[in-house]
Amino acid sequence: MQLPTIAPGKRFTLPRPTGSADALLLARLARQHTDARRLLAIVTAEPADAQRLADEMPFFETGLRIAVFPDWETLPYDSFSPHQDLISERLATLWSVLQGEVDVVLLPASTALTRLAPTSFLAATTFHFKQKSRLDEAKLKSQLVLAG
């Protein structure tokens, strides 16, 4: 099954496929985008749908690099911050996308509506460590000064 080409400003709806048929369809679409060296963002209705697709899509296309961009799991006027693990996972996903290490990003609609910091900000204020790698102290110091 091919997804139709949708003209800008037009709507197109498909009935919800049964079982894992949506994962199969999206995995094939993701493979086409990967072959064309393009990142694919898939917006789901619920966070559970994003996780389900992340679990099912590799069954149909084993080579896909899939990342889930998690929801904050807070309401707009909550008096507490999102969990630290969620913040870390979101930053790690953004870093992976920035480095070109991801083919498909799955995200809930509520997450897609949230504004993000510009790419330049993320690139300028983050650094990546690996075990047994040499640390460039001058670069680390300049990034820490830039980050405040």
Work out the percent of the chain whose per-residue pLDDT is above 70.
95
The verdict on 61 and 126 lying in the same domain is no
Q: Is the pLDDT of residue 130 over 70?
A: yes
Residue 10 falls inside a structural domain: no
Based on the fold, state whether residues 55 and 105 are members of the same structural domain.
Answer: yes
Integer-rounded Cα Rg, in Å, for the chain is: 18
At residue 1, the pLDDT reads 60
Determine the structural domain holding residue 128 and report its residue range.
117-148
On whether both 96 and 146 belong to a single domain, the answer is no
Q: Kindly state whether residue 13 falls inside one of the protein's structural domains.
A: no
pLDDT at position 8 over 80: yes
Clarify whether residues 72 and 134 are in a common domain: no
37 and 76 together in one domain: yes
pLDDT at 48: 94
C-beta neighbour count of 44 within 10 angstroms: 22
Residue 10 has pLDDT above 90, yes or no: no
Residues 127 and 95 in one domain: no
Mean pLDDT of the chain: 87
Looking at the fold, whether 85 and 103 belong to one and the same domain comes out as yes
* Longest alpha-carbon distance in the chain: 56
The separation between the first and the last C-alpha atoms of the chain, rounded to the nearest angstrom, is 51
Q: Is residue 26 one of the residues assigned to a domain?
A: yes
**Contact of 147 with 125, CB cutoff 8 Å:** yes
Task: For 32, list phi and psi in degrees, rounded to 5.
Answer: -60, -45
Give dist(CA 30, CA 41) in Å, integer: 9
Shared domain for 77 and 26, answered yes or no, is yes
Q: What is the mean pLDDT of residues 20-33?
A: 92
What is the tally of structural domains in the chain?
A: 2
Do 130 and 63 lie in one domain? The reply is: no
Out of 61-70, 94-103, 109-118, 130-139, least confident range: 130-139
pLDDT score at 93:
92
Query: Which is higher by pLDDT, 108 or 18?
Result: 108
Which of 89, 95, 109, 97 lies closest to 65 in space, CA to CA?
Answer: 97
- pTM for the whole structure: 0.78
Residue carrying structure tokens 């048929």: 21
Query: Which CATH number belongs to the domain containing residue 92 in this structure?
Result: 3.40.50.300
- Give tens-digit pLDDT for 74-122: 887 888 888 899 988 999 999 899 889 999 999 999 999 988 888 888 8
